[in-house]
Amino acid sequence: MTLTSRFSGKTAIVTGAGSGIGRATALALASGGASVVVADIDPLRAKAVVAEIEATDGVAVEVVGDLAEEEVVEEIVRRTLGEYSRIDILVNNAGIMDSMCGPQETSSSEWDRVMRVNVTAPFLLTRAVAPAMIAAGRGSIVNVGSEAGLRGSCAGTAYTTSKHAIVGLTKSSAIMLRPYGVRVNCVAPGGTITNIQVTIDPDTQGPAVLGAFRGNVGRMAEAEEVASAIVYLASDEASALTGVILPADSGWSAI
Ligand SMILES: NC(=O)c1ccc[n+]([C@@H]2O[C@H](COP(=O)([O-])OP(=O)(O)OC[C@H]3O[C@@H](n4cnc5c(N)ncnc54)[C@H](O)[C@@H]3O)[C@@H](O)[C@H]2O)c1
């Protein structure tokens, strides 16, 4: 990682920054000069990413906790303002898969957990950072959606519904925050090589859905390739873009 000045003086919160797309985004923002708040439920992963950033003279701090809990969201924002006195960028990246099942097999507890992590946490964080961004007259929020937010055949019902909701959260927030200079966009990854796949059990979980998923996904992307789309939308180079849903899916959504 070579430090540049693209995000110099800025502070970014990245959720789920301990692994995969979030980790790659945190490293890229830090290499651009941003101070990064690495938020993750996994303390070892979070600490490792902070250490990686600090090893190349970047600036980062970890906040560990379950984003399904509102107090954790409050702690992330309190800690960010306490450490850096500003919030320029929020990347709502953390997300969990479902068990690739249809509504007839989706338990209430799975539905609630997926909605809480994938939808409610991004809403709560958006609401929590908005006052600082509005006061500054600028800010950039990037939500991480999914190909499953664009069509019905990429995951189970809970995950698919949650990622469609992220599209709505993005578009509504973009319009509502536009008068204040705050941009809100969404990157919709296709198949990406991360740790999220290890939660899918092909033997027991919606094998028909998973088979269709594998057949359509085509080329799997590296996490860094998706991160570069997120970083672009977070940057001033995307100053005219808000309310955009940008597929980073190697053409999957074009099929
Ligand atoms: N990998 C793919 O193929 C793919 C495709 C489409 C969309 N996405 C989306 O990309 C985003 C990132 O996923 P990834 O593939 O990098 O997965 P990943 O599993 O590699 O990383 C997700 C990170 O989020 C953290 N996390 C999970 N639940 C959390 C919680 N409740 N509180 C705090 N942290 C939590 C995990 O500990 C992990 O470090 C997700 O929103 C996912 O839905 C991924």
Condensed to tens digits (0 to 9), the pLDDT of residues 105-162 reads: 999 999 999 999 999 999 999 999 999 999 999 999 999 999 999 999 899 999 999 9
Residue 133: inside a domain, yes or no? yes
Q: Which of 84, 159, 180, 232 is catalytic?
A: 159
CA dihedral 215, 115, 195, 201 (to 10 degrees): -60
Which CATH number belongs to the domain containing residue 226 in this structure? Answer: 3.40.50.720
| Cα 42 to Cα 15, 16, 62, 129, 244, distances in angstroms | 11, 9, 10, 23, 30
Contact 89, 65 (CB under 8 A): no
Which atom of ligand 1 is least distant from the CA of 97?
43
Q: What is the pTM of this model?
A: 0.96
Q: How many structural domains compose the chain?
A: 1
Token digits for 47? 């600490």
Residue nearest to atom 36 of ligand 1 (CA): 16
**What is the pLDDT of the chain when averaged over all its residues?**
94
Q: Could you tell me the residue range of the domain that residue 159 belongs to?
A: 11-254
List, for residues 40-54, the tens digit of each pLDDT value: 999 999 999 999 999
Closest CA to 16 of 88, 126, 92, 78: 92
| Residue 146 identity (one-letter amino acid) | S
In a domain, 244, yes or no: yes
Question: Are the C-beta atoms of residues 101 and 205 closer than 8 Å to each other?
Answer: yes
